[in-house]
A = this chain, B = another copy of it.
């Protein structure tokens, strides 16, 4: 597709503040072989290639470059296999996360990785960014579920990496290297993922707190208690209000922050985990806390968590952070985020995979206010510096893309960035895959 109007929906992801260019064309291949043709052509003509899934990324990783070919995987939506004996599925990259999860559920199986974008984002995009989600605190990230993949390489070859067996150490973990490489090392054309038996029904514990810092203390207390919740999410009043203004869910609560903990342990163990979480919430100063007896109410709170980002986006440009800090540092980090908001005179809403220490301060600015954007950028930089100062990382799950490139060089030693360049050069010798993303 070359029509400028048509390709407008393929030129950037959801990272509103990241720059993007004008592609030469957009292709929508239907097979690995077709992708190979595209890659070979890009090698031959020295044209950069940007792969994209649903474009729900938040770092600009899928943004088009001037004169590039955009490879959209949205025509490759086939679930090739769901194997109940080996607990694995084989899917094309354009399969939407929730579609795969629903298909697995029909077989009593579960694909855990659940980024908040799961109704829209694709497995290919999830793999390319090593997407996280709500489940990670107990069940890990996308990388933990990728067994193998088909890739069109930087020399234009179709290769099969990884395995279908439970274990395997024949050679380097090139599968794991591809996961999270944000389209810079090849085009992923098929993915084999590991599945788990269906999750047990969850118990939900909700807590209201008068400050993000008190909520942070509750998070640190849960971490120290030894309980591994199946989710531990934080959502502040700005986000609840934004969701409510949009969906009219009657959510606004008389609290600054809500913490949502879940346990999927069965029987007495689940009862124990829920009461431990409740104890941690109360001892950290919750103004109200209880185990939810109403599943609809609990589901509504989790829906609000998932809708927080698009709800805030309706109110104006949002600059999204994705810092991840040691769990014990969550209270201090939340305090510093508040300080950054005050110092820079910007509104910062908070959602967080709190149990992982993965915080998403959302820096919101009024539409068309350029001065506010400058102040937001300054707050963004301050938060990144604070996260690194506390022993954290600049990106827990969204990826580096364009927005976190500065953060990556601040986080990694120059010799480590140099190792990245060496690996990139080794596997993408013609330098066609998403050049200029992640690192220069």
Which residues does A use to contact B, with CB under 8 Å? 84-87, 108, 129-130, 132, 136-137, 140-141, 143-144, 153, 155, 157, 159-161, 163-174, 176-177, 179-181, 185, 196-198, 220, 223-224, 226-228, 265-269, 324-328, 353, 355-358, 391-400, 404, 407-408, 411-413, 415-420, 422-423, 425-427, 429, 438-439
Also in contact, A396 and B171, with CB within 8 A (given A85-B224, A328-B86, A416-B160): no
Are B427 and A327 neighbours in the complex by a CB distance under 8 Å?
Answer: no
Given A136-B167, A166-B358, A171-B400, output 16 extra A-B contacts at Cβ < 8 Å: A140-B144, A155-B415, A157-B415, A159-B416, A163-B393, A165-B325, A165-B393, A169-B180, A170-B394, A170-B411, A170-B412, A173-B179, A197-B227, A265-B269, A422-B427, A423-B427
One complex includes copies of this chain to the number of 2
Which of B132, B171, B396, B415 contacts A153 (CB under 8 A)?
B415
Are A220 and B180 neighbours in the complex by a CB distance under 8 Å?
Answer: no
B residues less than 8 Å from A176 (CB atoms): 143, 173, 176-177
Instruction: Give the residue name and chain of the B residue nearest to A425 (CB).
Output: B426
A395 CA to B268 CA in the complex, in Å? Answer: 40
Are A86 and B327 neighbours in the complex by a CB distance under 8 Å?
Answer: yes
B residues less than 8 Å from A141 (CB atoms): 167
A224 CA to B415 CA in the complex, in Å? Answer: 47
Instruction: Give the residue name and chain of the B residue nearest to A179 (CB).
Output: B173
B residues less than 8 Å from A353 (CB atoms): 167
B residues less than 8 Å from A413 (CB atoms): 159-160
Instruction: Give the residue name and chain of the B residue nearest to A142 (CB).
Output: B169
User: Would you list 25 pairs from A and B whose C-beta atoms are within 8 A, ordered by A residue?
Assistant: A85-B328, A86-B223, A86-B327, A132-B167, A136-B166, A143-B176, A155-B418, A165-B357, A167-B324, A167-B353, A167-B358, A169-B397, A169-B398, A169-B399, A170-B393, A170-B394, A170-B404, A171-B408, A171-B416, A172-B177, A172-B185, A174-B423, A266-B269, A422-B427, A423-B427
B residues less than 8 Å from A415 (CB atoms): 153, 155, 157, 159
A185 CA to B173 CA in the complex, in Å? Answer: 12
Measured CB to CB, the closest approach of chain B to A185, in angstroms, equals 8
Are B427 and A419 neighbours in the complex by a CB distance under 8 Å?
Answer: yes
A418 CA to B439 CA in the complex, in Å? Answer: 25
Are A395 and B169 neighbours in the complex by a CB distance under 8 Å?
Answer: yes
B residues less than 8 Å from A136 (CB atoms): 166-167
B residues less than 8 Å from A181 (CB atoms): 172
B residues less than 8 Å from A399 (CB atoms): 169
Measured CB to CB, the closest approach of chain B to A139, in angstroms, equals 12
Also in contact, A400 and B170, with CB within 8 A (given A85-B326, A223-B85, A328-B85): yes
Which of B327, B417, B429, B439 contacts A166 (CB under 8 A)?
B327
Also in contact, A393 and B326, with CB within 8 A (given A224-B85, A415-B155): no
Also in contact, A173 and B166, with CB within 8 A (given A223-B85, A426-B425): no
B residues less than 8 Å from A164 (CB atoms): 326, 391
Are B85 and A165 neighbours in the complex by a CB distance under 8 Å?
Answer: no
Are B269 and A165 neighbours in the complex by a CB distance under 8 Å?
Answer: no
B residues less than 8 Å from A391 (CB atoms): 164-165
Measured CB to CB, the closest approach of chain B to A114, in angstroms, equals 14
What 8 A-B pairs come out closest when comparing CB atoms? A426-B426, A422-B426, A166-B356, A168-B393, A176-B176, A167-B396, A197-B226, A85-B328
Instruction: Give the residue name and chain of the B residue nearest to A197 (CB).
Output: B226
Measured CB to CB, the closest approach of chain B to A317, in angstroms, equals 23
A228 CA to B412 CA in the complex, in Å? Answer: 38
B residues less than 8 Å from A404 (CB atoms): 170
Instruction: Give the residue name and chain of the B residue nearest to A168 (CB).
Output: B393
Are B224 and A84 neighbours in the complex by a CB distance under 8 Å?
Answer: yes
B residues less than 8 Å from A177 (CB atoms): 172-173, 176-177, 423
Are B167 and A356 neighbours in the complex by a CB distance under 8 Å?
Answer: yes
